[in-house]
Structure 1
Amino acid sequence: MMKEKLHPFQIAVLIYMIQSGITIFSLPRIAAGAFGTNGWIGVAIISIIPMINILLIALVFHYGKGRSIFEIFEDLVPKVLLRPFFLCLAFLWCMLGILVGKNFGLLFKMLYLPELSPTVYLIFTLIFVYFLVSKGLYQIGKTTIIFFFMTIWSVSIMALYIAEFKLDRLTPFIFKGEKELLTQSFEILNAFLGYEIIILIFPYILKSRASIKAMFYGNLFTTFVIYVPICFIAFGVLSFDQLKNETFPVLTLFEYIEFPFIERIESLIFSLFSLKALITVVMFYWAGDQVFRYSIPQIKPKVSIVILIIISFGISYIPQFLLDVGNWLKWIGRIEAVIAMLLPIILLLIIGITTIKRKRNGSKNGEVL
């Protein structure tokens, strides 16, 4: 039975929906802390890193002729050695997914719904994850498109701040003031993570230039339609000191917007972004499930996702408070950033080595003949 393929538009939207998550609400503060004045420019600079990474992934797709990463690895590395690596990767991705969900639940409780139980929120999130992951990537792609159109309009509300925007708040100085370039830059990079999962969707996409371009378009959309404009507006509306002291400067901006039919627009926006967080959680679990099933091929598909959910849910009880969850996300995100960069490089090296070996074997066979 032939697998249904993802349309290039679905690929681009999927990358955007995985990338832009809860960090968007604190991104202007992080940019100010990392780069100082006019830190919004730094967000565009950091976006070059995932763009280079996506280029490497596109090269793997091209030179690997659309084969899955498992097939490429098996050309050079015995499967018995690959299993421990992919098992670790499965649990890493699932932990990222559940921590994103728990982070959203704790923030919901702290900001808007004091009566909300983060555990109950997480359980409903994981039920959604189970049903969507068990349906497969194509159904996830269709759900992502629906959530995309439900949420994307909310970004346009920032345009209401054009009247409040003042260029002198940007100052003529670029990257001045106290800053923590190394640590805070990693946090900005974490805001782009998620795109690396596309390395697993090769068997589900058409082998075409449009599919490769879509990989870049998703990251470009996140950068220049979402992240950079929001940070630019925040730097032009709030003072530099406000940006550095506000925990969620974007939510602070939304608090000042009033509509006659909505009392608190920022709570609506936050709720809408929880849909984006759901897609992020789903995709990390889907990725974890793919590599987990490769590592243990005897396991049934629906059983594998249940095992991953139970294990990750149990571990998620270790970090209890918002600060603890944030620290876990920070450190796991750094590990994930390293893996995201190294994985396509290793795959390209394997493709290069196996290609050279095949050419040599082919020339030797030709000489014998």
Structure 2
Amino acid sequence: MKEKLYPFHVSLLVYMIQTGVIIFSLPRLLAQHMGYNGWITLFAYTGVVMLNIYLISLVYRLSNGKSIFQIIEQALPKVIVLPLYFILVSVWTMLGCLVAKQYVFIFQAFVFPTTHPMFMKFLVDVLAYLLIIKGIYNISKAATSFFWLVIWTLLLLLFFVKNFQWVNLTPFFFQESTDFFLGGLSIFSSFLGYELALLLFPYVEKNKSFIKAVHIGNLLTAITYITVSLTCFGFYSFNQLQGMKYPVIDLLAQIKFPFVERVDNIIFSLFLFTTLITIVAYIWAAKETVHRVIPRANSKWLAGTIVGIAFAVAWIPDVLNEVELWIKYLGYMEIGIAFGLPLFLLIILLLSKGGKKHV
């Protein structure tokens, strides 16, 4: 009997996949694209994610916990299945590889400016590979351990309560917003990761606790984003936020301890753990998809090949702005997958159930 993922582990896994380095630039993105009091839109994004998770819950209920790959392969010919799998593998692999390089570029700029970024990227990929080959159960347990190493950093926001200026939260809402739609998609991509719950169906108990756990993980992410963004909007003026590349890092740099010189570097280093889980989750999803096409392939070799390809592709974008541009467009594609894949699966399930009733 295979071990099943507990709802508690699922919640923290979803949270760790969703939360990444984008949190350090999120307040700026909200100010630039959403305008004054842009942090309020995070409530709307949370609602949209909850709607998407509801679609996933319908797939889970109608499929009776069956793997999404079984649903697709039983209903569609290989001529459709293979291109679909190719798209999923490509997007998930690229996301995992570029999220890693984004973190490495930022880390290098603040901590090791003379070190080649691909050397650090290699070390991150080795850590990711060692986790991927352990399987989803051990990945979820690692995510749980890493969660406790990261979540306490939210308490550091208490240092800014005294300097929080309510006057910065003007009565104006969404004025001076730019590129509301595409900018909004870029912000929504910071919530991505929950859609990988589609691949967890065979690994959880067949009950409602699984979907509740996904909702809880998303709510934890929303609370984190809202708390951090509200603090930045209250601490900095609107114009300051728009001009900062990573306002959260600049915020943490304000904290001074007699025994620690650069708190911001330490906190950013800790976020390697959230980035690592995001990388691992997307590469694991890609590996699981490839395994359906080549079922006899060794799982470790598959993981190594995908990580190796991701490492090779990561050489192409050689500046941070280029990496972030790639991630932005991949984020658009992943949003399409997050909504399109559950809807596609629902159509297949409803048609198959309708067909059975007429047999």
TM-score band by shorter chain is over 0.9
**Alignment partner, residue 7 of structure 1:** 6
Q: CA deviation at 1:116?
A: 2.5
Q: TM-score, with normalisation over the residues of structure 2? A: 0.98
Aligned counterparts of 2:343 and 2:16: Cα–Cα separation in 1: 25
**Alignment partner, residue 217 of structure 2:** 218
Contact 1:99/1:329, CA 8 A, preserved across alignment: yes
Matches within 5 A, 1:18-33: 18-33=17-32
Paired letter, 2:279: V
**Alignment partner, residue 173 of structure 2:** 174
| Worse overlay, 159-168 or 111-120 | 111-120
Indicate the RMSD between aligned Cα atoms, in angstroms: 1.1
Contact 1:32/1:179, CA 8 A, preserved across alignment: no
**Alignment partner, residue 366 of structure 1:** none
Q: TM-score, with normalisation over the residues of structure 1? A: 0.95
**Alignment partner, residue 64 of structure 2:** 65
Aligned counterparts of 1:329 and 1:348: Cα–Cα separation in 2: 28
Structure 1 residues without counterparts, runs of 5 or longer: 362-369
**Alignment partner, residue 364 of structure 1:** none
Aligned counterparts of 1:91 and 1:297: Cα–Cα separation in 2: 18
Paired letter, 2:199: L
Secondary structure of the corresponding residue to residue 263 of structure 1: coil
**Alignment partner, residue 273 of structure 2:** 275
Aligned counterparts of 2:110 and 2:125: Cα–Cα separation in 1: 22
Matches within 5 A, 1:140-155: 140-155=139-154
Q: Of residues 291, 294, 297 in structure 1, which corresponds to 2:292?
A: 294
State the identity %: 38
**Alignment partner, residue 328 of structure 1:** 326
Contact 2:118/2:315, CA 8 A, preserved across alignment: no
Contact 1:69/1:347, CA 8 A, preserved across alignment: yes
CA offset digits 1:294-348 (Å, max 9, x no partner): 1222321111111111222111111111111111111111111111110000101
Aligned counterparts of 2:176 and 2:340: Cα–Cα separation in 1: 34
Paired letter, 1:220: L
Q: Of residues 330, 337, 340 in structure 1, which corresponds to 2:338?
A: 340
Aligned counterparts of 1:178 and 1:6: Cα–Cα separation in 2: 42
Aligned counterparts of 2:34 and 2:185: Cα–Cα separation in 1: 12
Runs of at least 4 residues of structure 1 off by over 4 A?
none
Paired letter, 1:319: P
1:45 matched to 2:37: no
Secondary structure of the corresponding residue to residue 258 of structure 2: coil
Matches within 5 A, 1:162-201: 162-201=161-200
| Worse overlay, 45-54 or 230-239 | 45-54
Secondary structure of the corresponding residue to residue 191 of structure 1: helix
- Structure possessing the higher radius of gyration over alpha carbons: 1
Contact 1:32/1:243, CA 8 A, preserved across alignment: yes
Q: CA deviation at 1:3?
A: 1.7
Paired letter, 2:204: I
**Alignment partner, residue 233 of structure 2:** 235
